[in-house]
């Protein structure tokens, strides 16, 4: 065999740790990476162009399909941009519901990330633990919107409907005994809020379980500590946001610094890292899950005490109640107009950003006074982070590249759009 | 925000226009002075915009042009949304623009910078030397809009297919594209051929002057 010292290796696009469809061309010297050329766009669906051909409300569902593990946070930025241009204020109850679901989405995202990250590093069982907890949250999505993932629940002016008073139950079937069904349905007897409350009571102990498996695990620490170190100045230079920025110790969280919805009324802490390595980013995401349960608990208390409308009463934006359309001509006209033409947004442009589980997710919306967006630009968090992959992994081994890649938390739905 | 606007007005070079729609500051800068402006925005002690949040292209070719005439409906009849070629654009400024969104994590403020590009082919100076992470964003704007960023370290296409032709996000590029791909049994390979579907408008674009919003404008 010839004595090769320099290799060019193709990584992906169909590779389990490429998190979807990432293709990397790696230049290696032995096993050490000397250069990374990242090829993205294999999942490009031209969401922004598609949105230009549809009325505003039709594209809410596309937002779910961007970062498909944090669906409702994407919707939130989009409806916020529309609301800013329309000058519509959603009722407070709707904002609390949004915040509650945003935080549930954050837990969903971090659980998916934790499972995948651990699996990339060889710990398969964490993945199964995480998916068990995700199941309950997906049930909440389903209870409120009818879909387990792509909810399309937020609307400009509020949310589609109020929280349901009952949770769907498991029905008897021939694969489970009645006793098993009974156990499964045990926490589904009350309303959705009861179910969520039950979940957040038990969830912190589940986080402890994940931490038992990983936090002090010797192999886990060997794989993540001091890998992919990002200093605060480097993090700014690379344009990071979200947990990637906080991992380097920079105190920046849009929920605190530029609060939207009702985050300024809620009490929570923002965890910060000290070193900026993969292990710090792991600890931060774990702590963020704990903080999310705190926020959800406060939302539940508020929502219990304050019933009310969940949709604006601006009839040019919110569809009328079906029952009203039976004998109200105005309602019928509004309904017809809204579902054929949609609503008109006055000319202008805006940028709305939310603290997405992965970082800053923004929507830049330009309207020319018509019923469709003139230009919609989605600012995904992962795009900037993935760009830095080459810089972070130069001089490290291929195995470390996998660690860094998954600690960035990439999902190609929003990077490629 | 007023304070930030004042600082921007005193420090940015002449020829910049300012606008504060929706409580967000937009600065329209001449495309030749983008580098100069970005340097000031990043370095100035009272501005300190350290992170480029977003960079994108915008094509104003059909701005304000509807697919359905709502003023003289009876004259054009009901075949309105099918085969009508959109009217000529009434957009007075250059067709393509690059929009930058900047954020300062030090001082907690944002600004939007917009540069219209007059030249043909569209060219603008790359800001990679100032904001390193502009790299991919500029590649994306080049890929989708054909805006050429001078002195960019590596200006390749990023999102579209290998060997893709055209600039898909320009308004004159059809939503269904120009080519489709399929596997050819006889030739045993994937082949590209012209698209077999016609672009179709399901909900026509309607531009209306909504009286409610006109009222708001008078007040301003």
B66 touches chain A (CB under 8 A): yes
Percent of chain A with pLDDT over 70: 99
Contacts of B164 in chain A (CB under 8 A): none
Q: What is the pLDDT of residue A77?
A: 93
Statement: residue B127 has pLDDT above 80: yes
Query: A339 contacts in B (CB within 8 Å)?
Result: none
- Closest chain B residue to A351, measured at CA: B24
Task: Give the span between the Cα atoms of A191 and A187, in whole angstroms.
Answer: 10
Q: Tell me the average pLDDT across A111-135.
A: 90
Average pLDDT of A262-284? 90
Flag if A53 and B161 touch (Cβ within 8 Å). no
Q: Do A366 and B207 touch (CB under 8 A)?
A: no
Which whole number is the average pLDDT over B105-129? 90
Per-residue pLDDT reduced to its tens digit, B145-171: 999 999 999 888 999 888 888 899 998
Looking at residue A176, its pLDDT comes to: 86
Å between B51 CA and nearest CA of chain A: 5
- Are the beta carbons of B21 and A350 separated by less than 8 Å? yes
Give chain A's mean pLDDT. 89
Q: State the average pLDDT over residues B71-95.
A: 61
Question: What pLDDT is recorded for position B219?
Answer: 43
Reported ipTM exceeds the 0.90 cut: no
The pLDDT tens digits of the residues spanning A323-332 come to 888 898 989 9
- pTM for this model (two decimals): 0.90
**Cα–Cα distance between A118 and A95 in angstroms, integer?**
34
pLDDT attached to residue B215: 52
Q: State pLDDT tens for residues A282-304.
A: 999 999 999 999 999 999 999 99
pLDDT higher than threshold 90 for residue A377:
yes
Grade residue A93 by pLDDT with cuts at 50, 70 and 90: very high
Asked whether the predicted pLDDT for residue B86 surpasses 80, the reply is no
**Do B109 and B53 meet the contact criterion of CB atoms below 8 Å apart?**
no
A39-64: average pLDDT: 90
Question: What is the arithmetic mean of pLDDT over B179-193?
Answer: 90
Nearest to B63 among A48, A54, A374 (CB): A374
pLDDT at A226: 87
* Buried-state track A307-324, b at ≥16 Cβ within 10 A, e below 16: eeebbbebeebbbbeeee
From first CA to last CA, the distance across chain A in angstroms is: 44
pLDDT band at A111 (very low <50, low <70, confident <90, very high): very high
Q: Which tens digits make up the pLDDT trace of A341-363?
A: 888 888 889 999 999 999 999 99
Size of interface A-B (CB pairs under 8 A): 126
How much is the pLDDT for B76? 52
Distances (CA, A) of A286 to A100, A138, A209, A247, A402: 18, 19, 11, 12, 20
Res. B216: pLDDT tops 60: no
User: What is the pLDDT at residue B100?
Assistant: 93
- pLDDT value, residue B75: 52
pLDDT for residue A187: 86
B195 or A3: which leads in pLDDT: B195
Return the sign of the alpha-carbon dihedral for residues B68, B72, B73, B74. negative
Long-range contacts (CB closer than 8 Å, 24 or more residues apart) made by A207-214: A207/A286, A207/A289, A207/A290, A209/A129, A210/A114, A210/A126, A210/A129, A210/A130, A210/A286, A211/A286, A213/A118, A213/A123, A213/A125, A213/A126, A213/A129, A214/A118, A214/A123, A214/A126, A214/A282
What share of chain B in percent tops pLDDT 90? Answer: 24
- CA distance to partner chain B, nearest, from residue A212 (Å): 35
* Residue B200: pLDDT band with limits 50, 70, 90: confident
Residue A110 has what pLDDT?
A: 93
pLDDT of B218 higher than 50: no
Cβ-Cβ contacts under 8 Å, A44 against chain B: 159-160
> Chain A partners of B59 at a C-beta cutoff of 8 Å?
375
Q: Greater confidence, A75 or B212?
A: A75
Convert the pLDDT of each residue in B22-32 to its tens digit: 888 999 998 88
The arithmetic mean of pLDDT across residues A173-182, rounded, is: 87
What's the pLDDT at B144? 92
pLDDT over 50 at A402, yes or no: yes
Q: Which of residues 99-158 of B touch A (CB under 8 A)?
A: 99, 101, 103, 105, 108, 110, 112, 131-133, 135-137, 157-158
pLDDT for the residue A91? 92
Higher pLDDT, A193 or B217: A193
State percent of chain A over pLDDT 90. 34
Residue B186 clears pLDDT 80, i.e. is over it: yes
Identity of the residue in B63, B168, B216 whose CB atom sits nearest the CB atom of A368: B63
**What confidence tier does B220 reach under pLDDT thresholds 50, 70, 90?**
very low
Greater model confidence, B64 or B126:
B126
pLDDT above 70 for B1 = yes
Distance CA B198, CA B49 (A): 46
User: Which pLDDT score is estimated for A103?
Assistant: 93
């Amino acid at each position: 065999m010839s004595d090769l010292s320099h290799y060019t290796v193709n990584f992906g696009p169909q590779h389990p740790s490429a998190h979807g469809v990432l293709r990397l061309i790696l230049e290696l010297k032995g096993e050490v990476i000397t250069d990374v050329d990242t090829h993205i766009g294999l999942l490009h669906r031209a969401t922004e162009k598609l949105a230009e051909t549809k009325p505003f409300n039709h594209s809410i569902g596309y937002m779910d399909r961007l970062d498909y593990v944090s669906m409702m946070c994407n919707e939130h930025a989009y409806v916020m941009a529309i609301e800013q241009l329309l000058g519509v204020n959603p009722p407070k109850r709707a904002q609390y519901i949004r915040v509650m679901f945003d935080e549930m989405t954050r837990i969903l995202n971090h659980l998916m990330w934790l499972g995948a990250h651990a699996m990339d590093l060889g710990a398969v069982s964490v993945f199964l633990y995480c998916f068990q907890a995700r199941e309950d949250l997906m049930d909440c999505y389903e209870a409120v919107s009818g879909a387990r993932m792509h909810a399309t629940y937020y609307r400009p002016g509020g949310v589609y409907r109020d929280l349901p008073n009952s949770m769907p139950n498991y029905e008897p079937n021939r694969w489970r005994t009645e006793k098993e069904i009974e156990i499964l349905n045990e926490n589904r007897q009350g309303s959705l809020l009861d179910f969520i409350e039950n979940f957040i009571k038990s969830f912190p102990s589940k986080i402890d379980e994940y931490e038992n498996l990983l936090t002090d695990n010797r192999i886990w620490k060997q794989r993540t500590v001091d890998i992919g170190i990002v200093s605060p100045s480097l993090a700014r230079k690379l344009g990071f946001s979200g947990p990637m920025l906080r991992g380097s110790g920079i105190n920046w969280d849009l929920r605190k610094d530029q609060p939207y919805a009702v985050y300024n009324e809620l009490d929570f802490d923002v965890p910060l890292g000290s070193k900026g390595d993969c292990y710090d980013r792991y600890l931060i995401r774990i702590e963020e899950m704990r903080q999310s349960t705190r926020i959800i608990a406060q939302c539940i208390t508020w929502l219990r005490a304050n019933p009310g409308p969940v949709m604006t009463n601006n009839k040019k934006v919110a569809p009328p109640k079906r029952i009203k359309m039976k004998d109200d001509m105005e309602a019928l006209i509004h309904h017809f107009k809204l579902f054929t033409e949609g609503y008109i947004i006055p000319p202008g442009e805006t940028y709305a950003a939310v603290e997405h589980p992965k970082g800053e997710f923004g929507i830049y919306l330009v309207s020319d006074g018509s019923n469709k967006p003139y230009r919609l630009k989605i600012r995904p968090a992962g795009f900037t982070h993935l760009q830095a992959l080459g810089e972070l992994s130069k001089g490290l081994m291929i195995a470390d590249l996998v660690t860094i890649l998954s600690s960035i938390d990439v999902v190609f739905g929003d990077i490629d759009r | 925000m007023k304070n930030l606007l004042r600082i921007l007005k005193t420090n940015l070079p002449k020829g910049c226009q300012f606008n504060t729609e929706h409580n967000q500051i937009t600065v329209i800068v001449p495309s030749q002075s983008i580098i100069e402006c970005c340097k000031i925005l990043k370095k100035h002690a009272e501005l300190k915009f350290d992170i480029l949040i977003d960079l994108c292209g915008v094509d104003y070719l059909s701005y304000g042009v509807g697919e359905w005439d709502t003023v003289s409906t009876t004259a054009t009849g009901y075949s309105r949304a099918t085969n009508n070629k959109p009217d000529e654009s009434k957009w007075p400024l250059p067709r393509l623009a690059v929009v930058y969104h900047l954020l300062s994590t030090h001082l907690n403020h944002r600004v939007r910078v917009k540069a219209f590009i007059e030249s043909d082919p569209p060219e603008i100076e790359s800001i990679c030397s100032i904001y390193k992470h502009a790299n991919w964003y500029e590649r994306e704007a080049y890929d989708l809009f054909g805006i050429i960023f001078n002195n960019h370290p590596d200006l390749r296409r990023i999102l579209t297919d290998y060997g893709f032709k055209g600039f898909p996000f320009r308004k004159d590029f059809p939503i269904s594209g120009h080519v489709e791909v399929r596997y050819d049994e006889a030739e045993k390979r994937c082949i590209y051929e012209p698209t077999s579907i016609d672009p179709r408008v399901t909900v026509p674009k309607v531009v209306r002057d909504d009286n409610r919003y006109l009222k708001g404008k008078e007040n301003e």
